[in-house]
Amino acid sequence: MGRAAQRFQEQNPNHQPEPILSLSLHELCQKLGDGSLTPETVFYTYVDKALKVTADVNCIVDYIAENGSQLPHMNSEGKKGLLYGVPVSIKDSINCKGDDSTLGFAKRLFQPAAEDAVVVQVLKHQGAIPFVKTNIPQSLLR
């Protein structure tokens, strides 16, 4: 994931992430919808930011297996959902097909989910791109 973000930065040396990161969700969706921002640009901007944040606070548990694999197909599909091109993080307690949902327990490792949770299905159907799984609150640990 880090290499892909670095490669994007190298291919786009004039890319400025701050204007993208400062957009509200509504503004981001508008710019993605009208084509003034591409899903790829937004995706790698958020990947880079997530990597920097997790270096400080260790919030990323895992990278979602299919993260970004939908990018090449997004523009060709024609149909754009409400969250078209918006990268989203998913809590580790929520199933993503092919990825573990460990809830912080080692005994739940290597048990990938057979299918996406309904919330993930809805996000994807609306065009969102789940790309990382993040830590869960301690209150979920019993």
Is 15 in a helix, a strand, or coil? coil
The model's pLDDT over 78-113, given as tens digits with 9 standing for 90+, comes to 678 999 999 999 999 999 999 999 888 889 999 999
DSSP state of 134: E
Distance from C-alpha of 91 to C-alpha of 134, rounded to nearest angstrom = 5
Angle value at C-alpha 39, between 32 and 131, nearest 5 degrees = 125
DSSP letter string over 55-94? HHH--EEEE-TTTTTTHHHHTTS----TTTT-EEEEETTS
The model's pLDDT over 105-141, given as tens digits with 9 standing for 90+, comes to 889 999 999 999 999 999 999 999 999 999 988 877 6
Mean pLDDT over residues 38-45, rounded?
A: 95
pLDDT of residue 72: 61
Mean pLDDT over residues 53-69, rounded?
A: 85
pLDDT of residue 141: 67
